[in-house]
Structure 1
């Protein structure tokens, strides 16, 4: 698995391998994800700094490049973050664009099922020549010590909350599993988004302690929302 920066004598090979992996993965996906991967590949080839692992480009420039509006850019970049393919290195501010990093390990992990379609040489190059499969027989964890994993939700771009909850999971899987996963979208009234919690206590805790987290994630997808209201079930 690729774990080093793509610099030096092997830099060009590694760069093409990453783009090949993403492109092959895209061609095995539904149309929406194909377009998302194509847009990412365009950003990588046009603006990504491999030496610094940095993508710094404004939404207006991305919108021109993709031939879309800035609202679409915001949602598509949120999808890439929710997939953990992009990581925010420095949040944008007035006069300064957001800086992203490519999560190469996650990208290669997600695209690994299609490596063999490119060819055995490609697959071996990414895995590593002569790499031995990990011996898990000596790493059995007792059941009482095992931690229940937090499963990532399917990235759902059909609603602002569907995408926002994936962003929260990418940033804080434990808190997502405990408090956010069971919140359901009720409705949107004007600039307010209403969510329903599974119990009165759950609704009170989220409204008291996690409202800012929910609102921040939602506004990254749709800045027109001013408030997130969490209610108990009726």
Structure 2
């Protein structure tokens, strides 16, 4: 999967690819998902700075753009943060609005199932080899998949469906060590394995877990 970065000669095409993926995903969903995606697309096309990855707009402005009240804005933006589609880069303070960023890789990952609806040319163009750190580093000893139950078993299934190769390399060997109401602790087969997942893949891991149980918003990695 290509990484969308709006720079260089193909910047415009990459923007359209992302918006097309979001459009197809929204149209394939129910009315609530359609509306949420449309609202985010409105923010992207009117206020998003592609080069700096910054979305700076107040709730009052968003409410006016979406033709809703500010309470609806808070609720919808919370849904987008929970999906991992938007992230807070700088918290607003002293009358200044928060600076938000888009997790473009997460958006592409979540819309991948609907790419064929656009066409095989789109799938071939956008679905190329993913240029991310995990493509260059592999575990010295690939662990066998470990049995799991409950929340971690459900999260593992999600991760395996999203990217089987990445799952086999880094997630399959993780074991649930401890869980409380808000945090899931996972045990890795080595300190290197734990450190790598913590550094490069923790956000993907956290989102998968949170989507299985919204109360668990933190994931911690430990090693031998």
Map 1:1-150 to 2 at 5 A. Answer: 1-128=1-128, 140-143=142-145, 145-148=173-176
Question: Is there any run of 5+ residues in structure 1 with no aligned partner, and where?
Answer: 156-161, 176-234
Give TM-score scaled by structure 2 length.
0.64
Following TM superposition, by how much is the alpha carbon of 1:94 offset from its aligned partner in structure 2, in angstroms?
Answer: 1.9
Question: Is there any run of 5+ residues in structure 2 with no aligned partner, and where?
Answer: 147-172, 177-204
Alignment size in residue pairs: 161
Q: Secondary structure at the match of 1:89?
A: strand
Following TM superposition, by how much is the alpha carbon of 1:173 offset from its aligned partner in structure 2, in angstroms?
Answer: 3.4
Residues 121-153 of structure 1: per-residue CA shift (max 9 Å, x gap): 111111128x9xx9x9x9741356523466434
Q: Distance in 2 between matches of 1:143 and 1:125?
A: 32
Residues 86-118 of structure 1: per-residue CA shift (max 9 Å, x gap): 011001112211111110110000000111110
Following TM superposition, by how much is the alpha carbon of 1:8 offset from its aligned partner in structure 2, in angstroms?
Answer: 1.1
Q: Secondary structure at the match of 2:101?
A: strand
Give the conservation status (yes or no) of the 8 Å contact 2:55–2:100.
Answer: yes
Following TM superposition, by how much is the alpha carbon of 1:2 offset from its aligned partner in structure 2, in angstroms?
Answer: 2.7
1:31 to 1:152, Cα distance in 2 relative to 1, 3 A: farther
Q: CA RMSD in A?
A: 3.0
